[in-house]
Amino acid sequence: MSSATSISSVARIAYLASDIIVDSQHTLSSTSQFAKEYSSLSATSSRRPTILSVPLGGDPGSTLRRNGSAARLISFTSSATAQTVIRLVLDATELSSLPLVLHLAVKNDLSEVLLLHSAIPFFLVSRTPQQAHDNSLLASRLARTEKKAVVHAFYDAKNDLVEEIPESEVQPFLLSEKLASTNGVNGHNGHSATVVPPGSELFKLYERAALSTVSRIRRACTPLSVDGYSEPHTIIFGLGDIPSVDIDGVSVVSLSLLTPLLPSRILDVIPPSASRVIVLEQLHRWNTKWTPLYLELVNAIHQREVEQQPRIQSVYFSDAGQVTPLAILKLLQAAPSSTPIQLESKTASSVLSPEAPHVPEHESSYTKILSHVFSERLEVSNSPALVLKQGAIATSPEFALGRVRGQLDQRNELIRSVQKLLEVKEVSLELHKLCSQWILVKDDDTKSRSVGNELITALESSNVSSPVIDRILALRAYFPTRSRWIIGSDAWSYDLGASGLHHAIASGLNINILIIDTLPYTSRNSADPHRRKQDAGLYAMNHGDVYVASVAVYSSYAQVLQAVMEADRHKGPSVVLAYLPYKNEDAPALEVLKETKLAVDAGYWPLYRWDPVKEAQGKEPFALDSDAVKNDLQQFLDRQNHLSQLVRSKPELATELVSSLGENVKEARRKKAQQAYDDLVVSLDAPPLLVLYASDGGTAEKFAKRLANRGKARGLSTSIGTIDSMTIDTLSQEEHVAFVTSVAGQGEPPQNGRTLFKALNAAVVRGEKPFSKLRYSVFALGDSHYWPRPEDAHYYNKPGKDLDTRLEQLGGERFADIGLGDDQDADGPDTGYKVWEPLVWKTFGVDSVEVKEAEPDPITNEHIKAASGYLRGTIAEGLEDTSTGSLDPSDTQLTKFHGIYQQDDRDIRDERQAQGVEPAYSFMIRVRTPGGVCTPKQWLQMDQIADEHGNGTFKITTRATFQFHGVIKQHLKPSIQAINKVLLDTLAACGDVNRRVLRLEVMNVICSAIPSLSRLHAQVYHFAKLVSSHLLPRTTAYHEIWLDKKMVAGEAVKDFEPLYGEFYLPRKFKIAIAVPPSNDVDVFANDLGFIAIVDEQGELAGFNVTVGGGMGVTHGNKKTYPRTADVIGFCTVEQGPIVAEKVMLTQRDNGNRADRKNARLKYTIDRMGLDAFKADVESRLGYQLAPARPYTFDRNIDDFGWSTGDDGRHHVTLFIENGRIQDEPERDFKTGLREIAKIHEGTFRLTANQHIMVSEISTEDVPEIKRILAKYKLDNLNHTGLRLSSSACVAFPTCGLAMAESERYLPVLIDKVEKICEENGLRNDSIVMRMTGCPNGCARPYLAEVAFVGKAPGSYSMLLGGGYYGQRLNKIYRETVSEPEILAILKPMIKRYALERIDGEHFGDFVIRAGYIAPTTSGKEWYDGMGGEGQYREATAAA
């Protein structure tokens, strides 16, 4: 036997039994009592469990959930504080099914730990060190073998003799076979055991584990133990640290097992002689009248069928000294009470005073500075001393913030009262003077106090009677100005919202916050990698009006003084981040000094100050105080000019500097000079080659640049430009020209070639021959299947063929026959190019030249992202360039990550080109709106931005967010800043990141709008925000470029993308969250989807996970196709964000970065195989996803009109055709919605079908909302089912990818198609019709029942057969149709649908059953059976 405390006994068993230990700090001290024991055990034990530390204020539940499923046994050790227990209760549902033991140390109070009584399957209580040892062993065995959580609450008892199990026997004991339980194996004080009733499976599991424990330790492990008389008249059930009580006729039952405690076991220890039962519990407080133990005893006793039931009394005590024989006798003598009573205390108060939190000694370094600087002005609003009066909550930032707000309100009231007193005529001249004087000096540090004291004295001696004077005297404490501080730890940085730090920063109050970071520099990598600390300083700086400083008292005492004084002077929130690294309170000052120096010199903890007041004054707001970092930066800046200055002052050094180069460098220079000479000689002999191209999508430009680069490699003097960069006159002066052109629209040349094409046609008509000395060749790119009908075949490569003919007609001579690149060839256009290019080199006599140098790789998006400096590029410089309305092409790829697309007005593109000016450039801005929810204030801001910076309208997109068009370059930054003012942003609304979680757009995440299930929507919306936030890029480039935030500490704090890395994702990544039965977000169209699963109680149980959806296609490229997502399993709500992360990381590491057309997740899954992809995700998770759960979808359209949620609030869904918010004749929707936003107190929800829900309307506001809706005709739902189910993308005039009209044309087409529907009695029948201007699929056309995808102006592909609720892809029915053909096809088809459909059959299902089109079973089979079936095949129908 050895001497041990309860904590050391529990820590030893936890260390020897567990794979993972999570240890929680309950004070600001860096080392817990358990951690000290673990450190000692690590030096003597061969076991090495993983030990994770959760700091004060941290969330232990998330750490336990994340690590518990992969462990055979995980133990949690902590003191039972209210904060820790409440966080465990919130996660209890998930924790209950883990092999987990919660070891919670208590001191004289079970109030907090009993909150877990009904939340966790098993609850054990230990009083002595020996019992704590035995129950720890029992709990570990129980949790490991049964995979269920166990609470082990034990008293922090002092040293006692403990018989410990040897280390070598712990693991064999845990792994030993289960023993069959036997009733009464541990005995029941001589009473016979009763039969265990049905429903007591948990108790059987406990008995089985107890039996195994007893067989090993040879000591009883009883759920109940009885001490006292065999036939007592009173039974005391004791729960707590109860001393032995010897009273005649009284027996005491001590409980070791609190849950599950069977009624039969309780009745076994209550003999028939007992007429009274006392429940004696050690509780300081309890929020309900009766405790769980009392209710269980009442329930058990009432099951006994006897004439006279014993009376039950509930009694509390707080200190073991209160439980004396005399106190018990007084209880027995008193009449039983119907309410709980408290044992009398030896002191005046029966309730122990709360204990003030311990403040680590080292941290006085900062508090002493504050006391020294501010003296009697200092007020620590969350001072530990307040705990004695206010309770433990007094130290929380939320309480302190409320306290400060109250104090400031009181002082403002004092100021108003003094000002009112100045208006009282009876006030003496002296008193009036003092009042005026105090008003003038009220903000002065010293004079406000001295003048205030004089004023108080004068008021007290004044003869004037006035309620104003009484009120001033009541508020006398607020005369002196205070320096108010809230002091906290770096744990607040893990969750800025939950910690209250965000609220303090956003409050605008004159409050100072001191955050002390104690993590040593040498221990920085030992923290839990899943719990990333937020940069509270950067977060505060981004708010714009907050003073921020980063200080370290052991590095620069003067800087600390300067920072705290500047923070005090700042009229608003201030955040001072203070570094104080130490491992425990015993750490010597020298160690703290060394750690501080390491952190500061390495740039890990930069010293800086940020004063927004200086920024408003036009001064530099940022001051870098880290000498080491400043010196490094200065050396770098000096280095760039050092050599030039040296050579200038001493020219003779230039030769020496050059001659000191290595021989290999000189040799490389010589070879390079020789190569340049050889190239010059060849260039003099060979004629120059001019390469001209016309390209809309970039493919033709790529081939032109390849040709030019290869010409240079062969020694030719080559130059390159667009076709429209030449006129007929300049072209006639050229000798050798190679043309490369693609096709746009219906056989038209691309935009940057049309002017010259028109000029050539006009010259042919005039019969001119200007190209007498021009030798040329043309390479044309096209798609032979793009126009499949024989009458349209001439459109294939028409611009190239026409150009070849026109040049010949104008006197030109071919030096090589025209080359034709066909997308349908095996290698695409490369097949034709490989035949044509050698003909070019043969013309110049360089076909035999061997090219030795490797051809430079083309610049791709991957290069642009890697070189962008985490998405910075040269965007900031481009915004300052007023010579053009555009940005650099590489920057336009980066601005997508910032939610911005460069566009131009295509309606006037030709006109501007004819005028000789650049296109009318503007930008589209997409807002990040997680879950599609916005406040009325945010709506009003969006409305204002559209008017002040956009084209006067804005659009609700199919990603359930806002989109602005027509924003010119100089309005970009003001627009983004205006969006940020209402706490929205555009970061990651586009680009190769997770987009909106609908798409939860980066993350944009979108989620279903479900007005009837308000509580469920709130849960799903909260989940959407979690996923969006979790996957958000961490680069600070967005804040620097658009919000004018300076780079912190001159780049001393480096950007870091923990998820994306410098290359980000191969392509966009979209997320949606659907809530059955509505699939309004088209969850199967997204890379990642979550389908909400609701349990029997209507609560959100978790999500089915879908992967691999995607809409984008390239016309004619069968390597591209749409795909619906696959369901791969089920995850809980808590697992969801991590599942999203791992799916995204699997795509990051396996996606195709070489070919952006095949880079989406859908292609990755089809390349890897679904099972292999799922296995990769699960290996990253560390556990397998649960099997998918049943669900049902029945629609993917919105439910329009009014509805009432389960919380009694009202919602109305409005039809906004194609999502365009604008004022039109008879439809002033923009004005109407603005008027609603001015009075509405709920929210707006944007739907993925481009409509709007005015949500959370109180009953009293319904009439006024209805009045506004009627006034502006927003309540008009008198539309056909076809129109209500339609959707279109923007397309012309702003989208640069559009090939045909969409948003402007679909309503016109529906006007004509709905007449056909009405003729056949289908006015109210929903048919999902969608249209896009290009094949990229923004409006999700490939899931519609009937869809049209633009190919050229007025020409579309027609698709049929999509699933009504988005579960099935449609298929191309006709590759090319115009409006007359659309109507001719739909008229008989709709008529037949009306006559032949079966009950409940939707149009998409009918066209498959009727034989028009074959069903699409997978994305890879999308092209199979295209063109119709049987008699409806395109060729057959044409015949």
- What is the distance between the alpha carbons of residues 1310 and 1317, in angstroms, rounded to a whole number? 10
1397 is annotated as an active-site residue: no
Scan for tokens 């105090």, then name that residue: 438
Residue 147 burial (C-beta neighbours within 10 Å; 0-12, 13-18, 19+): middle
> Which candidate in 411, 995, 1142, 1174 is catalytic?
995
Distance between the two ends of the chain, CA-based, in angstroms?
Answer: 100
Question: Residue 225 in contact with residue 188, Cβ under 8 Å?
Answer: no
Dig out the tokens for 1200 from the structure. 């329009």
Considering only CA atoms, which of 577, 585, 604 is closest in space to residue 517? 577
Instruction: Evaluate the omega torsion of the peptide bond into residue 354 and state whether it is cis, within 30 degrees of 0.
Output: no
AA letter at 600? V
Catalytic residue among 403, 1070, 1234, 1371: 1070
- Which position among 435, 990, 1295, 1317 bears the catalytic label? 1295
1045 is catalytic: no
Q: Is 1070 annotated in the active site?
A: yes
Backbone angles phi, psi at 1328, to 5 degrees: -80, 110
Among residues 148, 798, 872, 926, the one annotated as catalytic is 926
Where b means 16+ CB within 10 Å and e means fewer, 1347-1386 reads bbbbbbbebbbbbbbbbbbbbbbbbbbbbbbeeeebeebb
Let me know the angle formed at the C-alpha of 1397 by 1392 and 1400, rounded to the nearest 5 degrees: 145
Please choose, from the candidates 975, 982, 984, the residue with its C-alpha nearest in 3D space to the C-alpha of residue 1004: 984
Catalytic residue among 403, 969, 1334, 1371: 1334
Instruction: Look at residues 928, 933, 913 and name the one whose alpha carbon lies nearest to residue 1002.
Output: 928
Catalytic residue among 1068, 1123, 1174, 1230: 1068
Q: Are strands 547-552 and 608-610 parallel, antiparallel or unpaired?
A: antiparallel
Among 1230, 1338, 1340, 1374, the active-site one is: 1338
> Catalytic pick from 221, 1007, 1289, 1317?
1289
Do 657 and 643 form a contact (C-beta atoms < 8 A)?
A: yes
Give how far Cα 1099 sits from Cα of 160, 1019, 1077, Å: 48, 9, 15
Instruction: Give yes or no: 1338 in active site.
Output: yes
Residue with tokens 């030249």: 849
CA–CA dist 1168, 1183 (Å, integer): 20
Residue whose pair of structure tokens reads 């102006």 in the numeric block? 1353
Residue the block writes with tokens 């936890």: 14
| Three-class secondary structure of residue 1373 per DSSP | strand
- The secondary structure element, H or E, covering residue 944 is helix 936-948
Distances (CA, A) of 1248 to 71, 156, 1009, 1085, 1236: 41, 56, 9, 12, 21
**Contacts with 392 (C-beta within 8 Å, 6 or more apart), sequence order:** 81, 82, 83, 354, 357
| Residue among 36, 30, 27 at smallest CA distance from 7 | 36
DSSP per-residue letters across 857-889: PPP-HHHHHHTSTTTTTTHHHHHH-TT-SS--H
Main-chain phi, psi angles of 255, to 5 degrees: -100, 130
204 is an active site residue: no
Three-point CA angle 152, 157, 159, nearest 5°? 125
For residue 1289, indicate whether it is catalytic.
yes
1162 tagged catalytic? no
Residues 6+ apart with CB under 8 A from 673: none
Q: The dihedral of CA 470, 474, 477, 483: what is its sign?
A: negative
Element (H, E) at 458: helix 447-461
Rg (CA), the chain: 39
Q: Catalytic residue at 1334?
A: yes
Nearest to 31 by CA among 687, 520, 611: 520
Exposure string of 356-374, with b = 16+ CB inside 10 Å and e = fewer, is ebebbebbebbbebbeeeb
- What residues are annotated to the active site? 926, 995, 1068, 1070, 1289, 1295, 1334, 1338
